[in-house]
């Protein structure tokens, strides 16, 4: 039974605030949530940015040994300084899936990233694959009985290089890319008068009921793979009907996301990212879901060009080339471009953490960030490989995670990180993805 609303939420209280940036968040109060026993995070947020975090010299914070308290952050993460105590920088993991993967080139790791499995090619060419199993965000969402909110900023086309979230093998979850439209579909109907809303819902249910009838009568008449597709389609329709019948009130006043912007465009990218963060945090704070992901670009980012003077970046070169130039042709210019780009991505991660921290939670001055687990991730490690990967865990995870540290776990599998994420969310999993690649949860 899912708990993800479009039309059913009605708001107590009056008009929505018009502010688009952080100040509106003070009107949102997160549901007070504490686990009855044991410590675990109440919500999971995944934040993806493309390619690798430059290299170890750039991402390793100052300090000696394999584990130490963070006294400072690397230069490209300077925007995260106000949240230094909320971060656990986790270095040197290995994507063991890359060692056994037979398909594709460097970018295939995006299909492994949240699934812990090698991919399933279906066509020809590097990008024609899908992941072979469920991703950790969808797994957690399913265990919680919620619909994950899957968002993207210029994620790219429907192929394996451009998707991180899956409900199963060959079941990519396509991210929603236009925050204004997604806002309307999450919150919009609730602004209708009650009787109009009831009528609209009733008509939609009638239509979907008829559609369900057609799906049910067609499915047995078709062979296996077609029937599987229709069964899955039928489940989605049923979920939609369930949501239309659900009738819980919400205790928040969301702020609409402005329309009139081409959110899919390259030019609007920085704005799109921030508006997606705003949308996501509202959805979490309003209890619409407990699991959300935001995907910035895709595994190569060849279709992203940082022509964003308002964000301090004005490079007429795509992000993929910027990354390769750094790896293959190192000079002062290519280094500077690479650092500027990665700093931009980290600054937007800071925007997310700021937003999560600004939502109050509980009576003791707590923040929604404290009961959230945030997974920052990229699809690549050292020089486009799966080696020396950096991950960042942020937020208190309900007290289950000790932050403000750097931890290096050389040789540990990234599958084990996915196991840790599950356990930090209160799930009992001891493996995730391909069990052969797991040793168990990480010592965090």
Partner 1 sequence: MTMTRQSPLLALCASLALGGCYSGVHGFDGDDPGTDPGDEGEADEAGDDPEPDEPVPAACAEGPSAAASPMRRLTGLEYDNTVRDLLGDDSQPARRFSPDEEVGGYAANSIAKLSKSQLDEYVDAAETLAATAVSERWDQVVGCDAAEAGCVEGFVRSFGRRAFRRPLDEPEQADYLALYTDAEAEWGASEAMSMVIQAMLLSPGFLYHVEPSGEPGVALRDDFTLASRLSYFLWASMPDDALLDAAQAGELHDPEALEQQARRLLEDERAAATVASFHRQWLHLQGLPDRVKDSSLFPEWSPQLGSSMEEETLRFADEVVRHGDGSLQTLLTASWTVLDAPLAELYGVPAPAEGFAVTELPPEERAGLLTHASFLTSTAHAAESSWVLRGKFVRERLLCTEILPPPPGVEINEVNDPDRLGNPDCAYCHVLMDPIGTGFDAYSPIGAFGDETPDGQPVSTEGEVIGVPEVGSFEGAVQLAHALAQTPQVHECVAEQWFQYGARRLPTEADECTLERLRADFEASGQDIRELMIAIATSDAFRYQLNE
Contacts (CB under 8 A) with partner 1, residues 261-290? 266
Tell me the number of residues near partner 1 by CB under 8 A.
Answer: 74
Minimum distance between the CB of residue 57 and partner 1, rounded to whole angstroms?
Answer: 18
Member of 1, 14, 260, 329 binding partner 1 (CB under 8 A) = 329
Q: In the complex with partner 1, which residue's Cβ is closer, 385 or 430? A: 385
CA dihedral over 277, 392, 121, 318, signed as positive or negative: positive
Residue 340 binds partner 1, judged by CB under 8 A: no
Helices 319-328, 332-357: inter-axial angle, 10-degree rounding? 130
Is the CB of residue 296 less than 8 Å from the CB of residue 336?
no
Q: In angstroms, rounded to a whole number, what is the distance separating the alpha carbons of residues 372 and 284?
A: 10
Enumerate residues 132-161 that contact partner 1 by CB under 8 A.
147, 150, 156-159
Enumerate residues 154-193 that contact partner 1 by CB under 8 A.
156-159, 170-176, 185
Residue 111 binds partner 1, judged by CB under 8 A: no
Minimum distance between the CB of residue 127 and partner 1, rounded to whole angstroms?
Answer: 8
Give the residues across from 296 on adjacent strands: 153
> DSSP secondary-structure letter at 127?
T
Q: In angstroms, rounded to a whole number, what is the distance separating the alpha carbons of residues 294 and 380?
A: 17
Beta strand ranges found along 70-139 (DSSP E): 87-93, 119-121, 129-131
Residue 117 binds partner 1, judged by CB under 8 A: no
Give the residues across from 361 on adjacent strands: 366
Residue 7 binds partner 1, judged by CB under 8 A: no
Q: In angstroms, rounded to a whole number, what is the distance separating the alpha carbons of residues 176 and 355?
A: 20
Minimum distance between the CB of residue 38 and partner 1, rounded to whole angstroms?
Answer: 31
Residue 37 binds partner 1, judged by CB under 8 A: no
Member of 55, 246, 318, 439 binding partner 1 (CB under 8 A) = 318
Residue 242 binds partner 1, judged by CB under 8 A: no
Q: In the complex with partner 1, which residue's Cβ is closer, 69 or 202? A: 202
Q: In the complex with partner 1, which residue's Cβ is closer, 387 or 405? A: 387
Minimum distance between the CB of residue 299 and partner 1, rounded to whole angstroms?
Answer: 13
Q: In angstroms, rounded to a whole number, what is the distance separating the alpha carbons of residues 35 and 30?
A: 15
> DSSP secondary-structure letter at 108?
G
Give residue 388's region: left, alpha or beta (phi > 0; psi -120 to 50): left
Give residue 415's region: left, alpha or beta (phi > 0; psi -120 to 50): alpha
Pairing of strands 291-296, 43-49: parallel
Minimum distance between the CB of residue 258 and partner 1, rounded to whole angstroms?
Answer: 18
Site string for partner 1, 288-307 (x = CB under 8 A): ---------------x-x-x
Minimum distance between the CB of residue 325 and partner 1, rounded to whole angstroms?
Answer: 8
Minimum distance between the CB of residue 147 and partner 1, rounded to whole angstroms?
Answer: 7
Site string for partner 1, 354-393 (x = CB under 8 A): -----------------------------xxx--------
126-141: string of b/e by CB count within 10 Å (b at 16+)? bbebbbbbbbbbbbbb
Candidate segments 24-32, 67-75, 117-125, 418-426, binder of partner 1 by CB under 8 A: 117-125
Candidate segments 50-58, 211-219, 270-278, 400-408, binder of partner 1 by CB under 8 A: 211-219
Member of 29, 35, 211, 335 binding partner 1 (CB under 8 A) = 211
Candidate segments 24-32, 288-296, 326-334, 361-369, binder of partner 1 by CB under 8 A: 326-334
Residue 310 binds partner 1, judged by CB under 8 A: no
Q: Is 408 helix (H, G, I), strand (E, B) or coil?
A: strand
Q: In the complex with partner 1, which residue's Cβ is closer, 38 or 224? A: 224
Site string for partner 1, 60-99 (x = CB under 8 A): --------------------------------------x-
Q: In the complex with partner 1, which residue's Cβ is closer, 307 or 313? A: 307
Neighbours of 284 (CB within 10 A): 26
191-209: string of b/e by CB count within 10 Å (b at 16+)? eeeeeebeeebeebeeebe
13 vs 7, 185, 249, 251, CA distance in Å?
Answer: 17, 20, 11, 8
């Amino acid at each position: 039974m899912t708990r993800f609303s479009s039309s059913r939420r009605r708001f107590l209280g009056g008009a929505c605030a018009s502010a688009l940036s952080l100040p509106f968040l003070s009107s949102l109060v997160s549901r007070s949530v504490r686990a009855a026993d044991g410590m675990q995070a109440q919500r999971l947020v995944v934040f993806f940015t493309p390619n690798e975090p430059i290299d170890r010299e750039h991402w390793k914070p100052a300090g000696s040994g394999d584990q130490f308290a963070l006294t400072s952050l690397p230069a490209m993460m300077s925007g995260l300084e106000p949240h230094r105590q909320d971060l656990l920088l986790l270095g040197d993991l290995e994507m063991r899936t890359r060692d056994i993967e037979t398909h594709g080139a460097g970018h295939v790791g995006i299909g492994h990233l949240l699934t812990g499995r090698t991919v399933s090619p279906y066509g020809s060419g590097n990008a024609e694959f899908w992941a072979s199993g469920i991703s950790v965000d969808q797994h957690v969402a399913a265990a919680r009985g919620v619909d994950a909110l899957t968002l993207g900023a210029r994620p790219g086309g429907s192929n394996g290089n451009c998707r991180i979230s899956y409900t199963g093998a060959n079941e990519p979850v396509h991210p929603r890319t236009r925050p204004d439209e997604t806002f309307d579909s999450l919150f919009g109907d609730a602004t209708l008068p009650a009787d109009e809303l009831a009528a609209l819902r009733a008509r939609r249910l009638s239509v979907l009921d008829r559609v369900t009838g057609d799906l049910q009568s067609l499915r047995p008449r078709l062979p296996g793979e077609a029937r599987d597709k229709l069964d899955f389609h039928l489940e989605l329709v049923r979920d939609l009907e369930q949501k239309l019948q659900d009738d819980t009130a919400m205790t928040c006043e969301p702020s609409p996301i402005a329309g009139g912007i081409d959110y899919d465009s390259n030019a609007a990218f920085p704005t799109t990212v921030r508006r997606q963060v705003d949308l996501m945090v509202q959805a979490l704070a309003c209890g619409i879901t407990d699991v959300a992901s935001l995907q910035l670009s895709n595994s190569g980012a060849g279709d992203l060009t940082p022509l964003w003077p308002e964000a301090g970046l004005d490079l007429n070169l795509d992000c993929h080339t910027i990354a390769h130039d750094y790896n293959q042709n190192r000079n002062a210019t290519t280094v500077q471009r690479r650092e500027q780009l990665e700093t931009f991505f980290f600054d937007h991660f800071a925007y997310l953490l700021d937003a999560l921290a600004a939502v109050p939670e509980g009576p003791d001055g707590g923040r929604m960030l404290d009961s959230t687990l945030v997974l920052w991730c990229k699809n690549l490690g050292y020089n486009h490989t799966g080696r020396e990967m950096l991950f960042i865990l942020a937020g208190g995870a309900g007290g289950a995670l000790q932050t403000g540290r750097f931890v290096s776990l050389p040789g540990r599998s990234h599958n084990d990180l996915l196991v840790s994420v599950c356990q930090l969310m209160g799930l009992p999993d001891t493996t995730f993805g391909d069990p052969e690649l797991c040793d168990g949860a990480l010592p965090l």
